[in-house]
Structure 1
Amino acid sequence: MTITVLHPVTDLAKAKTVYATLLSAEPTADSDYYVGFDVEGQHIGLVPGGAAQGMTGPVTYWPVPDIEAKLAELTAAGGTLKEAPKEVGGGRVVATFTDPDGNVLGLYQDR
């Protein structure tokens, strides 16, 4: 299972340098709208303008086989839908929800 953690950043170039140094790795995805690193089975992503998209801090995304079913389970368990499932490219669908304390968590499904 690969967990993805996305970090909102304001200066992508500077953040990319800091994270490359921290992780001792070069990005595996590098564009103007997203930079990603794959390190030790985990994916770390940098999202420029993430704050404008409602990201108040890093968000961890958990892989699931059926995003709609898992969201139904989570809301029944007390979670609250934050962002409905949406396609983000390459067949990946993402969604976010909050736990009872307001922490934002994410799900992703690869189709």
Structure 2
Amino acid sequence: MTGTSTHGIKTVLHPVSDPEKAKAVYAALLGVAPRDDSPYYVGFEAAGQHIGLVPGGGPQGMTAPVAYWHVPDLEAKLAELSAAGATIKEAAHDVGGGRLVATVTDHDGNVLGLIQDR
């Protein structure tokens, strides 16, 4: 099989109902304070991973954690996944800082996240 590779799962986003309460739990788990801390997103960097807390599931309405695969070419990977039968759930868009994100679903409805840092 040919195509673009990934850099692995480095980001996992968790939907939370109360960011302040969740922030305390994740800070205790990870042993670090949040790097990003705002009303709409709390992000931690620990052991080479980015763990994000998204109040209310964010704009995509997450109901379960979503693992994000880091890829060198987001549009190419979206095309490959679509050709393989995945459905685009959230089209590629810039979330700031040169980061592009998108999500797709597999045949069973599992959500797969993709991230490209420019």
TM-score normalised by structure 2 residue count = 0.88
Partner of 2:70: 63
Letter in 2 for 1:68: E
- Equivalent residue in structure 2 for 1:106, among 98, 106, 113: 113
- 1:51 Cα deviation after fit: 6.0
- 1:53 Cα deviation after fit: 3.1
Whether 2:86 is the aligned partner of 1:86: answer no
Q: Distance in 2 between matches of 1:44 and 1:27?
A: 9
What is the root-mean-square deviation in Å for CA atoms of aligned residues?
A: 1.4
What is the aligned-residue identity percentage? 70
Letter in 2 for 1:9: V
Q: Any gaps of 5 or more consecutive residues in structure 1?
A: none
Structure 1 residues 1-111: aligned runs within 5 Å: 1=7, 3-50=10-57, 53-111=60-118
Q: Distance in 1 between matches of 2:33 and 2:59?
A: 26
Letter in 1 for 2:34: P
Alpha-carbon contact 2:60-2:90 (below 8 Å) kept: no
TM-score normalised by structure 1 residue count = 0.93
Q: Distance in 1 between matches of 2:37 and 2:58?
A: 20
SS where residue 69 of structure 2 aligns? strand
Q: Distance in 1 between matches of 2:117 and 2:35?
A: 18
Q: Distance in 2 between matches of 1:68 and 1:53?
A: 19
Q: Any gaps of 5 or more consecutive residues in structure 2?
A: 1-6
- Structure 1 stretches of 4+ with a deviation exceeding 6 A read none
